[in-house]
């Protein structure tokens, strides 16, 4: 069974200062000594969670996407995180999944945080993105999506008329990138574990620390969680760069010993 290595970067962000943030992330990525295949940055990693897309948005051929392409190629890693993108006259909170060969995919945050006015400035996505790496299937999500379990729920492959023994889980790992405030960190920690348990998969939640430009404090609490909901790593209230190796045989063992996923309801999601 295969393994996959992840590095999570939990850090403070320079408010609405792209150049300072990219310089900081480049330094942290260069300082990773462990062998790693995927490096995960927080939500809106180049700016912080800003409602000023008109002055901060970039295009898909802009500076930050090209920076991701360069870093990914130099370090031979998959680099992911979300940033503010302008596309066809609309603004998106867009997660980029950058491969070392320069190819990339993206996921537009589906659930916009109306409590902070995100829905007034950004357009929500309509499609999930499940990436494939070394036989691992990875479901990519952004922050507030965490509160909506139906959007991320395993949809068994080969459903229809097949019996339960022929069904297969859709993915093996969920990645959430976030700017989740400390005042609601109980929900963050609880829901990350819930998503792992109910979908019988690994979960990686990567959050920022520190105060943003609105004086809102973030405690981080980034987590790596196994398919039983056990926390493999977490860190609160300080910057943290952590590399971990996930085991596919552990995942297979859990799914085989406790095949709860086979009893899940069949459903489809409408945009």
Name the more confident of 164 and 204: 204
Domains and CATH numbers, the chain: 3-263 (3.60.110.10)
Average pLDDT value for the chain: 94
Q: Which of 66-70, 163-167, 212-216 has the lowest mean pLDDT?
A: 163-167
Specify the DSSP class assigned to residue 260.
G
Q: Is the pLDDT reported for residue 161 higher than 70?
A: no
Distance of CA 121 to the CA centre of its chain: 21
pLDDT tens for each residue of 25-80: 999 999 999 999 999 999 999 999 999 999 999 999 999 999 999 999 999 999 99
pLDDT (0 to 100) of residue 159:
47
Token pair for 263: 């009893």
Size (the chain), residues = 271
Question: What is the Cα–Cα distance from 10 to 4, expressed in whole angstroms?
Answer: 19
- pLDDT at residue number 156: 67
pLDDT at 114: 96
Average pLDDT of 157-164? 52
The reported pLDDT for the residue numbered 77 is 98
pLDDT in tens, 234-256: 999 999 999 999 999 999 999 99
Contact between 92 and 79 under an 8 Å Cβ cutoff? The reply is no
Say if residue 164's pLDDT is above 90: no
pLDDT at residue 62 in the model: 98
Question: What is the value of pTM for the model shown?
Answer: 0.95
Catalytic residues: 43, 109, 143
Q: Residue 76 has what pLDDT?
A: 98
pLDDT in tens, 107-156: 999 999 999 999 999 999 999 999 999 999 999 999 999 999 999 999 86
User: Mean pLDDT throughout 185-195?
Assistant: 98
**Structural tokens at position 11:** 């850090």
CA distance readout (Å), 125 to 26, 65, 106, 151, 271: 28, 19, 10, 11, 9
With vertex at residue 77, the alpha carbon angle to CA 210 and CA 5, rounded to the nearest 5 degrees, is 80
């Amino acid at each position: 069974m295969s393994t996959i290595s992840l590095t999570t970067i939990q850090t403070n962000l320079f408010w609405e200062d792209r150049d300072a943030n990219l310089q900081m992330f480049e330094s942290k990525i260069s300082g990773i000594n462990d062998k790693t295949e995927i490096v995960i940055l927080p939500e809106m990693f180049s700016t912080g969670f800003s409602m000023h897309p008109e002055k901060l948005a970039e295009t898909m051929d802009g500076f930050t996407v090209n920076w991701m392409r360069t870093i990914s190629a130099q370090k031979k890693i998959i680099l992911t995180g979300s940033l503010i993108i302008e596309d066809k006259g609309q603004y998106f909170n867009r997660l980029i999944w950058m491969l070392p060969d320069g190819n990339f995919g993206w996921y537009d945050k589906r659930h916009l945080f109306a409590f902070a006015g995100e829905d007034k400035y950004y357009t929500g996505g309509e499609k999930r993105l499940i990436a494939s790496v070394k036989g691992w299937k990875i479901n990519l999500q952004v922050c507030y999506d965490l509160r909506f379990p139906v959007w991320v729920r395993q949809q068994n492959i080969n459903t229809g008329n097949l019996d339960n023994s022929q069904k297969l889980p859709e993915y093996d790992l969920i990645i959430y990138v976030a700017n989740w405030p400390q005042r609601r960190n109980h929900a963050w920690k609880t829901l990350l574990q819930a998503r792992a348990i109910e979908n019988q998969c690994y979960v990686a939640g990567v959050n920022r620390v520190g105060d943003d430009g609105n004086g809102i404090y973030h405690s981080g609490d980034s987590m790596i969680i196994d398919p039983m909901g056990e926390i493999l790593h977490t860190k609160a209230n300080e910057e943290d760069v952590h590399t971990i190796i996930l085991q596919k045989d552990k995942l297979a063992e859990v799914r085989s010993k406790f095949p709860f996923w086979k009893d899940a309801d069949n459903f489809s999601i409408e945009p």
